[in-house]
Amino acid sequence: MNQNKVLLVDDHAVVRKGIRALLDTVEDVAVVGEAGTAREALAEARRLRPDFILLDLTLPDGNGLDLIPSLAAAAPGTKVIVLTMHEGEDYFFRALQVGAVGYVIKAGDPEHILAALRAVLDGGVYLYPSLAKSLVGQHIHDREHPVGADLSPRETDVLRLIAEGKSNKEIASSLSISVTTAQTHRNRIMQKLGLHTSVELVRYAIRRGLIHP
């Protein structure tokens, strides 16, 4: 079985140890490296080219939010999941804006970490539930792109399932279509809406009221 490589970035060794122990219970995930500073994180990202980085936002030599774009440049294709004590909406929205595909609060249930990894492994995103609701509060009245103006009914159904974190395989099963057709719908939706990432699709779906976290 191919294992997905994870790099842990947190300035507290005891936290890294706890997360490593948790991830050791997941058979298709392997922690391949650790870093305690922004500089170490960049070096390890370049060296290891991990599939995922679990990133704390508070580091002794830099802000994790500022680090996310640098990590993307250092290891193209690597997906960043924020794992932080910061529950403020400013941190949350900024993390999404700079490229994070998941946001988990340290004070929450450790199962949220596993849920985030699983969602991203399946091609989706993971937004910490209480903070995801704030996306609705901020954008629910935004009507720049009315629902259905550009999308067919089937594409709207596919978008809703994407926003719920469903993989192409799950979408195909739910709608009784092939996985290839599900991917084709995903590509067309992105093209029609001018969006480029799963995070953008989720935010669009929430703004349109297609899902309610």
What pLDDT is attached to residue 11? 94
Q: Residue 93 corresponds to which tokens in the numbers above?
A: 């929205």
Domains of the chain: 4-130 (3.40.50.2300), 140-207 (1.10.10.10)
Q: Are 55 and 82 in contact (CB under 8 A)?
A: yes
What pLDDT is attached to residue 79? 94
- What secondary structure, in 3-state letters, does 148-185 show? CCCCCHHHHHHHHHHHCCCCHHHHHHHHCCCHHHHHHH
What pLDDT is attached to residue 211? 60
Q: What is the pLDDT along the chain (213 residues), one digit of tens a residue?
A: 678 999 999 999 999 999 999 999 988 899 999 999 999 999 999 999 999 999 999 999 988 999 999 999 999 999 999 999 888 777 887 888 888 998 999 887 888 899 888 888 888 888 777 666 555 444 443 444 444 457 888 888 888 888 777 888 889 999 999 999 999 998 888 888 878 777 778 777 776 666 654
What pLDDT is attached to residue 1? 61
Q: Which helix (H) or strand (E) segment is 181 a member of?
A: helix 179-193
